[in-house]
Structure 1
Amino acid sequence: MGCSSCSTGKGGQPRGCKNNGTCGTDGCNKLTVFDWLSNMSLPNGEEPFDCVEVRFKNSRKEFFRNDRNLSLSIGDIVATQAQSGHDVGMVTLSGELVRVQMKRKKVDFKDEELPKIYRKASQKDIDIWQKCRDREEEIKKRSREIAIILNLQMKISDVEFQGDGSKATFYYTAEERVDFRQLIKDMAKAFSIRIEMRQIGYRQEAQRLGGIGSCGRELCCSTWLTDFRSVSTSAARYQQLSLNPQKLAGQCGKLKCCLNYELDVYLEALKDFPSQDSKLFTEKGLAFCQKADIFKGMLWFSYKDDPANWHALTKKQVQKILEMNKKKEKVPSLEAYAVEQIVEVKEHVFENVVGQDSLTRFDRPKQKRNRNRNKNRKSSNRNNKRSSNQNNRRKGSSNKKPSKNG
């Protein structure tokens, strides 16, 4: 979805609102919830739910109590309670769906210490808030320079100002514990604001910054993914993926979250599938499993003495042989059960529907073309010389003076 300020600019190029998911029309925000109860009226005697959901920079959301009964709707800019001063955010959800979201996130809506909403933000509050947002990139760059000067092994990934501009939260990532006391002193002296340092993980950093994944789409963590489940290499093993860290790692440097998406389907398919560690006892010799294909229901076995020759068996055949081996019975050989796989080679005929040239036009040798060009050039030069000589002869004959006798 795109809001009205995210339309295309000149020349058909995307203009973009450049608000990093916090545009005022709430059309291109991250983790936006659709209020499907907005058009429904409350029953008689029921009062509207007095809590609202407010989103701040990027994907940070918090719940606030509307004890002043302000008429709030999605997209309203409000001034909320903070530890000191006030913060400015945008209302993303109101009504009964907020109660559902609070139960889902295990937030007690009866808690009296729940922060409150002060008022709808005035134009002065919005101007101060926008001015602070414009300073974030410059301050982030300057804070990174200070951290490099102090030789701190940390990376400051993002800066978030409080709505009134009195406080700034610096989000950073680090491998080990960092002593940033001197850093806070230097930054407080340089920026004249209160500083708060908050360490986040690499997945949270990718969520806040966003980006494009290897699939060509925007990162899941920055669009719709709200919780980060642990991803282990066993998820790749169950799906028979090569354990290549460059392919399995995302932009955060950790294993991709999408490895868990299809894991349950693979685990369910592997319940009645023979283990790859299974061994088959035959009269010809002991056989080991070399490969398994869950989708085709096939397993490939080879003898211990002849590991180069593989024999394809179906899942039911392997289970039957294992049951016989449990009864201490051996099958004659794998060849008696092997499935012959006939590979049909289909010729693909591609039609030239676009009117393009042949795809193999660049594979042709270029020497013939050069020779033809040279021949054409030589013949054209000869013709030009002949024509020029004829013209010179004609001019010479016309320039001759008539004789006296004539």
Structure 2
Amino acid sequence: MACQSCSTSDGSAPKGCKNNGTCGTDSCNKLTVFDWLANMSLPNGETPFDCVEVRFKNGRKEFYRNTEKLTLSIGDIVATEASPGHDVGIVTLTGELVKIQMKKKGVNHTSNEIPKIYRKASQRDIDIWSESRDKEEKMKVKARELAIAHKLEMKISDIEFQGDGSKVTFYYTANDRVDFRLLIKDYAREFNTRIEMKQVGFRQEASRLGGIGSCGRELCCSTWLTDFRSVNTSAARYQQLSLNPQKLAGQCGKLKCCLNYELDTYLDALKGFPDFETKLKTEKGDAVCQKQDIFKGLMWFAYFDNFANWHVLKIEQVREIITQNKQGIKVSSLEDFALEIAAQPEKDFNNAMGQESLTRFDQPRKSKSKNRNKNKAKVQNQNTEPNKIQNQKPKDKRPIIFKKNEDKK
């Protein structure tokens, strides 16, 4: 599906057309679709569907009616109806699959309010379109400066020019409602064009910016995810995850979309578990659930008077005790049903490949200054010892003669 410039080069390395999703075949974007009915002809007497799907910047897709009976294919640049003037986009899908896409998006294909396609874009239309696209980055910087000057709590995330350059759409993100009436006047005075403000969510902004998630892979919203479903903290509770906002939040500041991926599987597994708030009545006392293991089908219970001591029970045993409690029968104790789980030995790291220690950087290094001072002291002692020996006086080695005391006269 990729265009020729996106194919691999020598050594299986991707070339990359560097057109950021606007290459000729429109196959460098996550919104690319494959027309699997392209090689099939319509039955005799059937007319082709007169609506096409056109993509614009920022992943915006809209449906247009081909009233002029133009021969369009995927990748054609067309001039479409806009208010005011016209817009320029790329055809992404044609034929009967467009009817399915319209039904999925809730668009009535028989409505007369569907805008139409004027013509295939001429070279002049493409030149004006490309010149307008080149201005967007400089305008975005200036627009942010003006928003900061007005002290508005909003962020201009992106700018989109209309195909004919007659209107500019500013996409912004904000936590609360923003009064930008004075800001629009400054924009119109500075850029001398028609201004339209459009607020987008933080997830839509993160999908356009892209990045690397905590899993080490590219963000789902910037690679393949197109619909953003609401994510609640209950999804983390059902999966028994830590309710730490720093771990559960993504780069957009909201809860991660991947919390919903395995939620249905956990909900199906929890259907076979008794209620977490279930209390077991025994002759020793009442017990309440403290923990669940969804994968192994185990539940941990503790008495009200001894929460530190937990007893492990299978869900079948818990159901058996619940049925007896409903009949008014109390079991003797949880110890009769508890499982004995052997403590697993701790796994030690074995250096089988002869690699260096993983904690080699954790050990404090010895300061080099102390070693240098010690070496200097040794050298000074060695240099001073010969001088001491030279300065010492030679000892008198003559024998000592003892004389007898003479009588004094």
Give the TM-score category using the shorter length: 0.7 to 0.9
Deviation per CA, 1:247-298: give whole Å up to 9, x if none: 1111221111221121111111111201221111111122121111111100
Deviation per CA, 1:62-95: give whole Å up to 9, x if none: 0011111211111111111111111111111011
- Please say if residues 125 and 163 of structure 2, whose CA atoms lie closer than 8 Å, have aligned partners that are also in contact: yes
User: What corresponds to 2:241 in structure 1?
Assistant: 241
| 110-119 or 155-164: bigger deviation | 110-119
Q: Give me the whole-angstrom Cα distance separating, in 2, the residues matched to 1:90 and 1:217.
A: 29
User: What corresponds to 1:132 in structure 2?
Assistant: 132
- Please say if residues 22 and 57 of structure 1, whose CA atoms lie closer than 8 Å, have aligned partners that are also in contact: no
| 93-102 or 276-285: bigger deviation | 276-285
Report the Cα offset of residue 201 of structure 1: 1.9
Structure 2 CA distance for partners of 1:152 and 1:360, relative to 1, 3 Å: closer
Report the Cα offset of residue 190 of structure 1: 1.0
Q: Give me the whole-angstrom Cα distance separating, in 1, the residues matched to 2:245 and 2:295.
A: 25
| 213-222 or 71-80: bigger deviation | 213-222
Q: Give me the whole-angstrom Cα distance separating, in 2, the residues matched to 1:218 and 1:31.
A: 16
Q: Give me the whole-angstrom Cα distance separating, in 1, the residues matched to 2:10 and 2:142.
A: 34
Aligned-residue identity in percent: 70
Q: How do 1:52-67 and structure 2 match up within 5 A?
A: 52-67=52-67
User: What corresponds to 1:148 in structure 2?
Assistant: 148
User: What corresponds to 1:279 in structure 2?
Assistant: 279
Query: Is 1:160 matched with 2:155?
Result: no
Deviation per CA, 1:22-43: give whole Å up to 9, x if none: 3333221122111111111111
Q: Give me the whole-angstrom Cα distance separating, in 2, the residues matched to 1:85 and 1:9.
A: 42
- Please say if residues 30 and 58 of structure 1, whose CA atoms lie closer than 8 Å, have aligned partners that are also in contact: no
Ranges of 4+ aligned residues in structure 1 off by more than 6 Å? 7-15, 360-367
Structure 2 CA distance for partners of 1:271 and 1:250, relative to 1, 3 Å: same
Report the Cα offset of residue 312 of structure 1: 0.7
Q: Give me the whole-angstrom Cα distance separating, in 2, the residues matched to 1:138 and 1:102.
A: 36
For the pair shown, the structure with the greater C-alpha radius of gyration is 2
Structure 2 CA distance for partners of 1:361 and 1:228, relative to 1, 3 Å: closer
State the SS of the aligned residue for 1:325.
helix
Deviation per CA, 1:95-122: give whole Å up to 9, x if none: 1100110111111111222111111112
User: What corresponds to 1:386 in structure 2?
Assistant: none
Report the Cα offset of residue 5 of structure 1: 4.1
Q: Give me the whole-angstrom Cα distance separating, in 2, the residues matched to 1:303 and 1:41.
A: 73
**Alignment-mate amino acid for residue 310 of structure 1:** W
**Alignment-mate amino acid for residue 207 of structure 1:** S
Q: How do 1:221-370 and structure 2 match up within 5 A?
A: 221-345=221-345, 351-352=352-353
Q: Give me the whole-angstrom Cα distance separating, in 1, the residues matched to 2:257 and 2:363.
A: 47
| 49-58 or 212-221: bigger deviation | 212-221
- Please say if residues 49 and 96 of structure 2, whose CA atoms lie closer than 8 Å, have aligned partners that are also in contact: yes
Q: Give me the whole-angstrom Cα distance separating, in 1, the residues matched to 2:232 and 2:301.
A: 28
State the SS of the aligned residue for 1:23.
coil
User: What corresponds to 1:207 in structure 2?
Assistant: 207
Q: Give me the whole-angstrom Cα distance separating, in 1, the residues matched to 2:343 and 2:86.
A: 70
Q: TM-score, normalized by length of structure 2?
A: 0.83
**Alignment-mate amino acid for residue 221 of structure 1:** C
User: What corresponds to 1:122 in structure 2?
Assistant: 122
**Alignment-mate amino acid for residue 193 of structure 1:** T
- Please say if residues 2 and 25 of structure 2, whose CA atoms lie closer than 8 Å, have aligned partners that are also in contact: no
- Structure 1 segments unaligned to the other structure (5+ residues): 379-406
User: What corresponds to 2:396 in structure 1?
Assistant: none
Structure 2 CA distance for partners of 1:366 and 1:148, relative to 1, 3 Å: closer
Report the Cα offset of residue 135 of structure 1: 1.1
Deviation per CA, 1:195-216: give whole Å up to 9, x if none: 0011122222223333332222
Structure 2 CA distance for partners of 1:213 and 1:358, relative to 1, 3 Å: closer
**Alignment-mate amino acid for residue 317 of structure 1:** Q
Deviation per CA, 1:196-251: give whole Å up to 9, x if none: 01112222222333333222223222333232222111111111111111111112
Deviation per CA, 1:114-148: give whole Å up to 9, x if none: 11111111222222111111111111110010011
Report the Cα offset of residue 358 of structure 1: 6.2
Q: Give me the whole-angstrom Cα distance separating, in 2, the residues matched to 1:326 and 1:28.
A: 63
| 22-31 or 326-335: bigger deviation | 22-31
- Please say if residues 140 and 158 of structure 1, whose CA atoms lie closer than 8 Å, have aligned partners that are also in contact: yes
User: What corresponds to 1:79 in structure 2?
Assistant: 79
Q: Give me the whole-angstrom Cα distance separating, in 1, the residues matched to 2:271 and 2:166.
A: 58
- Please say if residues 25 and 74 of structure 2, whose CA atoms lie closer than 8 Å, have aligned partners that are also in contact: no
User: What corresponds to 1:176 in structure 2?
Assistant: 176
Structure 2 CA distance for partners of 1:95 and 1:34, relative to 1, 3 Å: same
Q: Give me the whole-angstrom Cα distance separating, in 2, the residues matched to 1:186 and 1:197.
A: 13
- Please say if residues 156 and 170 of structure 1, whose CA atoms lie closer than 8 Å, have aligned partners that are also in contact: yes
State the SS of the aligned residue for 1:308.
strand
- Please say if residues 80 and 87 of structure 2, whose CA atoms lie closer than 8 Å, have aligned partners that are also in contact: yes
- Please say if residues 23 and 29 of structure 1, whose CA atoms lie closer than 8 Å, have aligned partners that are also in contact: no
State the SS of the aligned residue for 2:135.
helix
Deviation per CA, 1:159-196: give whole Å up to 9, x if none: 11101111100011122221211111111111111100
